[in-house]
A and B are shown apart, each in its own frame.
Chain A
Amino acid sequence: MGLKEELRKSFPILGRKVNNRPLVYLDNAATTQKPAEVIDRISRYYREENSNIHRGAHFLSNMATEAYEKARNSIQSFINAGSPAEIIFTRGTTESINLVAHSFAEKYLKKGDEVVISEMEHHSNIVPWQIVCERHKARLRIIPLTASGELDLDEFGNMLGKKTKIIAVTHVSNALGTVNPVREITGIAHKLDIPVLIDGAQATPHMKVDVREIDCDFYCFSGHKMYGPMGTGVLYGKEEWLREMPPYQSGGEMIKEVSFEKTTFNELPFKFEAGTPNVADVLGLEAAATFITELGYKEIASHEDALLEYAKEKLAGIDKLRLIASPREQSSVISFIFEDIHPYDTGILLDKMGIAVRTGHHCAQPLMDHLGVPGTVRASFAIYNTMEEADILVNALIKIREMLA
């Protein structure tokens, strides 16, 4: 099976019980658990290194600054960015998208322009664009989905034109697990010189992301979904865009010189990092990236794919259970419903049996409308999940069927 007991042991929380049963944690698309390496790194920072960075000329400040900038270099190589200046630390994917939406729109979005997103986006890749479109009197256009839960690329190609100023799509759907052909999307967009933002929140935990290979203009992801701490995120942006875009927030760190008459802004990446950053957690994020790199995406993907296939096959055998969407390429997420049972009922009983899943609309209400369901039950896997846990889920669902039918 390839999964070592040791690996599970490095995640302290997996040893606990909930509702008097061993925890079966299948809500990894919401957030993953953290390995000891990440927890210890954060703790070590506060025990040994804590100091404010980029200013005080003293020992600890220099140490913290060095550690923080080394983390930036690590993240640069983690996604193969061209330079550390292209790595902006944020609070998470949501903030990364907001930064681009607001800053980009301020400079480039005019009345009558268009922004293209898709029907499968998370609310955090819908609402910021809605807001800036309204503010600048631009129009939001939506790439529709095919019956199997994939982007309709023909329609996508047709809706692009001179008015299209930016495209923002997800790499992997948080609700369906669909993996989108992001390389193909940037290829189509760049023929018309339209920049592309990719929401990678659900991709970095599972697959190697090479931003130069994808050739996206912006790539956003969160630390907490890839074994790292909450409150950390990354915005990758091509330098040519970031240099031109105005600051998003302002204050300390992001300035070069300030007088009451005029402020000149700091260079990249600091221009977009106002205020004291979350140093400890960024170091935790670096530890998470190292954890993933040492495990290897090959190992991660082969384990998670086997688990996904196994669980899908078993779930499909349960009476009146319907798997939602069957994309050609799917990543670690299974969404399903019982035809005659509300996802709410399924979720609450799974919880009582110690199984953590997500039920509801998964912050993707337009997608649920498209699918014609009030919500789904979503089981999502990580590297530490086991075939036994998939069996526990399946047996629990069979029991729930008996209780509710």
Chain B
Amino acid sequence: MQNIKEKEQEIVREFELFDDWMDKYNYIIDLGKSLPPVDKDFKNEKYLIKGCQARVWLHAHYMDGKVFYSADSDALITKGIIALLIRVLSGQKATDIVQSDMSFIDEIGLREHLSQTRSNGLSNMIKQMKLYALAFEKQNKKQ
């Protein structure tokens, strides 16, 4: 399986194919549409990420030292962005997730195309994903 950096580079190459940001958004929207649905047990207040304009639900589980995410949002573009994050981080080792810098977001120019509040929302999503990884890692060490 590809590591985080390899996955990030793959996305950067895909985005290079589009000249126009409308096309990039079209792609993000398609990714959002193809994100597997989240179990409805996880679509509640407990799994809601604070500080996003759209509602985002994030759930994670831990298996053999690796973290697997599932997420949903009521906004499609947000969902597409989460799909990118999940593609990069899901199935990776908790330690690697905690240490990842997610620099592909800046490389594809996504952050500069989001307003300040939306960019904060994106940071909150990444933070929440890393917090899950950190918690699983700690739990693992205790056992």
Question: Contact residues of A with B, CB < 8 Å?
Answer: 19, 341-342, 344-345, 348-349, 351-353, 359-360, 374-375, 403-404
Chain B residues with CB under 8 A of A403:
25-26, 29
**Tally of contact residues, B, Cβ under 8 A:** 17
Bound-state CA distance A360–B53 (Å) is: 8
B53 lies within 8 A of A353 (CB): no
Which residues does chain A contribute within 8 Å of B75, judged by CB atoms?
342, 344-345
A-B contact pairs, 26 of them (CB 8 A): A341-B76, A342-B75, A342-B76, A342-B78, A344-B53, A344-B54, A344-B75, A344-B78, A344-B118, A345-B76, A345-B77, A348-B25, A348-B114, A349-B22, A351-B115, A352-B21, A352-B22, A359-B53, A360-B53, A374-B54, A374-B55, A374-B74, A403-B25, A403-B26, A404-B29, A404-B76
Residues in chain A near residue B113, CB distance under 8 A:
352
Contact with A along B118-133 (1 / 0, CB 8 A): 1000000000000000
Instruction: Answer whether A342 and B54 are a contact pair too, CB < 8 Å, given A348-B77, A374-B74, A404-B76.
Output: yes
Cα–Cα, bound, A359→B21 (Å): 20
Count chain B CB atoms within 10 A of each CB in A341, A345, A353 and give the residue with the most.
Answer: A345
- Docked complex Cα distance between A247 and B7 (Å): 63
Q: Hey, which chain B residues are within 8 Å of A348, CB to CB?
A: 25, 77, 114, 118
Chain B residues within 8 Å of A345, by CB: 29, 75-78
Name the CB-closest residue of B to A349.
B25
Question: How many A-B residue contacts, CB cutoff 8 Å?
Answer: 42
- Tell me the complex Cα distance, A360–B118, Å: 12
- How close is B30's CB to chain A, nearest CB, in angstroms? 9
Residues in B with CB closer than 8 Å to A341 are: 76
B21 and chain A: residue at smallest CB distance: A352
Q: In the assembly, what is the distance between CA of A30 and CA of B54, in Å?
A: 21
- Interface set, chain B 48-64, CB cutoff 8 A to A: 53-55
Complex contact A353–B22 (CB within 8 A): yes
Contacts of A342 in B (CB 8 A): 54, 74-76, 78
Compute how far the CA of A107 lies from the CA of B117 in the bound complex, rounded to whole angstroms.
Answer: 40
Question: Once bound together, how far apart are the Cα atoms of A404 and B115, in whole Å?
Answer: 20
Contacts of B74 in A (CB 8 A): 342, 374
Chain A residues within 8 Å of B76, by CB:
341-342, 345, 404
Give min CB distance, B24 to chain A, whole Å.
Answer: 9
Q: Report the Cα distance A7→B119, complex, angstroms.
A: 36
Q: Which residue of B lies closest to A340 (CB)?
A: B76
Task: From A19, A341, A375, A404, name the one whose CB has the most chain B CB atoms within 10 angstroms.
Answer: A404
Q: Write the chain A residue with the least CB distance to B26.
A: A403
Whether the pair B77, A344 counts as a contact (CB closer than 8 A) is: yes
The 6 A-B pairs at the shortest CB distance, nearest first, are namely A342-B75, A344-B75, A344-B54, A345-B77, A345-B75, A344-B53
Q: Which residues of A contact B54 (CB under 8 A)?
A: 342, 344, 374
B58-91 vs A: 1/0 string, CB under 8 Å? 0000000000000000111110000000000000
CB-CB < 8 A to A359: which residues of B? 53
For the complex, what is the distance from the CA of A351 to the CA of B114, rounded to whole Å? 10
Return B115 CB to nearest CB of chain A, in Å: 8
Q: How far is the CA of A403 from the CA of B26 in the complex (A)?
A: 7
* Identity of the chain B residue whose Cβ is nearest the Cβ of A404 in the assembled complex: B76
Residues of A within 8 Å of B78, CB to CB, are 342, 344-345
What CA separation (Å) do A262 and B59 show in the bound complex? 64
Contact residues in A for B77 (Cβ distance below 8 Å): 344-345, 348-349
**Smallest CB–CB gap between B34 and chain A, Å?**
14
* Smallest Cβ-Cβ distance to A359: which chain B residue: B53
User: In the bound complex, how far is the Cα of B117 from the Cα of A359, in angstroms?
Assistant: 12
Residues on A with C-beta less than 8 A from B115 are: 351
Residues of B within 8 A of A360 (CB): 53
* Residues of A contacting B55 in the complex (Cβ-Cβ under 8 angstroms): 374
Interface residue ranges of B26-58 to A (CB < 8 Å): 26, 29, 53-55
Interface centre among B25, B29, B53, B114 (most CB of A within 10 A): B53
**A349 vs B23: C-alpha distance in the bound complex, in angstroms?**
11
A352 to B20, CA, bound (A): 10
Cβ A19 vs Cβ B21 within 8 A? yes
> Smallest CB–CB gap between A24 and chain B, Å?
15
Compute how far the CA of A348 lies from the CA of B81 in the bound complex, rounded to whole angstroms.
13
